[in-house]
Structure 1
Amino acid sequence: MCRSCRHQTSVTTGTIFEKTRTPLRVWLAGAWYATNQKLGVSALGLQRVLGRGSYQTAWTMLRRFRRAMVRPEREKLHGLVEVDETYLALTDRQLPLTAAGRKSKTTKVLVVMAVEIHQPKGFGRIRLRRVSDDSAASVIPFVQEAGDAAAVVRTDGSAAYLGLKSLGYGHERKVMLGAEDAAHVAMPGVHRVASLVKRWILGTHQGSVQPDQLDFYLDEFVFRFNRRASRSRGMLFYRLMEQAVRTPPVTYADVARKRRPPQA
């Protein structure tokens, strides 16, 4: 309490922990468990580990942590950057209950990827985003946000990327039709990442990610992938906590929001 104006505040004010009724000890235990599991955790798994009676509490905790996994001032990808799109098959299991029982529906969602390519081999950081289609209006803004102005962007023969040169990017096109090398050989980075993210969605989350919540799951995958070479799992916990105290408060209505809010 301020001695002058008598205003009351808390050490959690202005963080993702603001106004939470869950003890901070539980929050820290949840963050440690989530960051120390190489492939991530589901809300049900977190609920079991923490011994919390409410699935909704574990679900909300993971949603809040995912909001803190994107650092607004993070550096853009540089050097040679591969860009491509892939489809993710997501199962919506929250359809209304009918006389025949609860049904599920599989939806294909388009995701655009950017991967740093290290020379002579290896991959660096990545960026992922859900897009409505593979048109220039969808993929060009993603490239501008993901890669710095000096990056050389490698794409397939899609006409959607033809405008990159006029924006100052180096553009390396790999036309796959009739090419001697297979697509996964000509563009290994994006194909490897596409395979990994599909396996992660189907494995850790059983493919039951709600399509409208996919943005935040992609943020988590990027957070984990970009720190895969860290020798200390505790560093992931530290980075998450560092961002958690810098991320504005998140309410339940926020975590239930269907799309990630646009970046300022």
Structure 2
Amino acid sequence: MVPNGCIGGEEAGLPGGRAHGKKVLTGLAVEVLEPKGFGRCRMRPLADASAALLHPFVTDFVAPGATVITDGWSGYCGLDQLGYVHQRRRQRAARVGSEDTEDRLPGVHRVASLAKRWRLGTHQGAVDRAHLASYLNEFVFRFNRRRSRRRRMVFYQGLELAVVHEPVRYKDLIATQRPRTVPPTPPKARGHPTSLERPPADRPWRNSS
């Protein structure tokens, strides 16, 4: 299942769906297992919902020859020409027939709800657009290893990534590279805490033998 939606809070005057406004359009792919259940997922922020960005998203995360289930968005047209079996499930037709739209793409709605709940709970909803990709990678890493039989290997894999990864500096983490116009003033004097300047307390029992 490969649809796309927006991550962010509700905004006045927007009908929802792909009218993202200040929200971030995000591609989401969920592996469907047989006879039931969901496997791995992949998420990536997208600049727009055009075929020029949706097709590379599918080819990067879905194996050729697999069956790709999407909604009726026109940006997914042409996936059958890339070596996929494309099935389109129109959610608008489900609304007209008074059907539940979540039944058309159950895996995507489930993972999207978990991601939004994780963002509101762990990060209190404060996820900046510049760092959203990193947060989504963290969620995907946790979700794909939720049923791992060797949980200790997750720690070893994280440690291995930290060892082989290039050093990450502060300027690589901040959203802007612009220096401050007025640098902060360093403290003039470095004194001791007030607790160290007090006279010692009278504790005679410490001197008794």
Q: Which residue of 2 aligns with 1:214?
A: 132
Q: Which residue of 1 aligns with 2:144?
A: 226
- In the alignment, is residue 133 of structure 1 matched against residue 48 of structure 2? yes
Secondary structure (helix, strand or coil) at the match of 2:131 reads: helix
Larger radius of gyration, structure 1 or 2? Answer: 2
- In the alignment, is residue 112 of structure 1 matched against residue 30 of structure 2? no
Deviation of the 1:119 alpha carbon? 0.9
Q: Which residue of 2 aligns with 1:186?
A: 104
Q: By percentage of residues, which structure has more strand?
A: 1
Secondary structure (helix, strand or coil) at the match of 1:217 reads: helix
The aligned amino acid for 1:190 is V
Separation in 1 of the partners of 2:24 and 2:136?
A: 12
The aligned amino acid for 2:155 is F
Q: TM-score, normalised by structure 2?
A: 0.73
Which structure has more relative contact order (CA 8 Å, sep 6+)? It is 1
Aligned in 2, Cα 1:135/1:254: closer, same or farther, shift over 3 Å? same
Q: Which residue of 2 aligns with 1:244?
A: 162
1:126-181 per-position Cα deviation (integer Å, ceiling 9, x unaligned)? 10000111111221111111111122110001110011111111101111222354
1:172-202 per-position Cα deviation (integer Å, ceiling 9, x unaligned)? 1111222354221111110001100000111
Match of 2:70 among 155, 158, 180: 155
Separation in 1 of the partners of 2:46 and 2:9?
A: 15
Question: Runs of 4+ in structure 1 displaced over 3 angstroms?
Answer: none
Q: How does 1:30-49 map to 2 (within 5 A)?
A: none
Match of 2:81 among 166, 170, 177: 166
The aligned amino acid for 1:217 is Y
- In the alignment, is residue 256 of structure 1 matched against residue 171 of structure 2? no
Separation in 1 of the partners of 2:89 and 2:149?
A: 35
Separation in 1 of the partners of 2:73 and 2:125?
A: 29
Q: Which residue of 2 aligns with 1:199?
A: 117
Deviation of the 1:114 alpha carbon? 0.3
1:79-102 per-position Cα deviation (integer Å, ceiling 9, x unaligned)? xxx0011211169xxxxxxxxxxx
Separation in 2 of the partners of 1:148 and 1:246?
A: 28
Uncovered stretches (5+) of structure 2, i.e. residues with no partner: 11-20, 177-209
Separation in 1 of the partners of 2:66 and 2:167?
A: 35
Separation in 2 of the partners of 1:198 and 1:86?
A: 12
Separation in 2 of the partners of 1:200 and 1:250?
A: 25
Uncovered stretches (5+) of structure 1, i.e. residues with no partner: 1-81, 92-105, 259-264
Identity among equivalent positions (%) equals: 49
Separation in 2 of the partners of 1:158 and 1:85?
A: 9
Deviation of the 1:231 alpha carbon? 3.6
Deviation of the 1:232 alpha carbon? 4.3
The aligned amino acid for 1:209 is V
Q: TM-score, normalised by structure 1?
A: 0.58
Secondary structure (helix, strand or coil) at the match of 1:132 reads: coil
Q: Which residue of 2 aligns with 1:84?
A: 3
The CA RMSD measured in Å over matched residues stands at 1.9
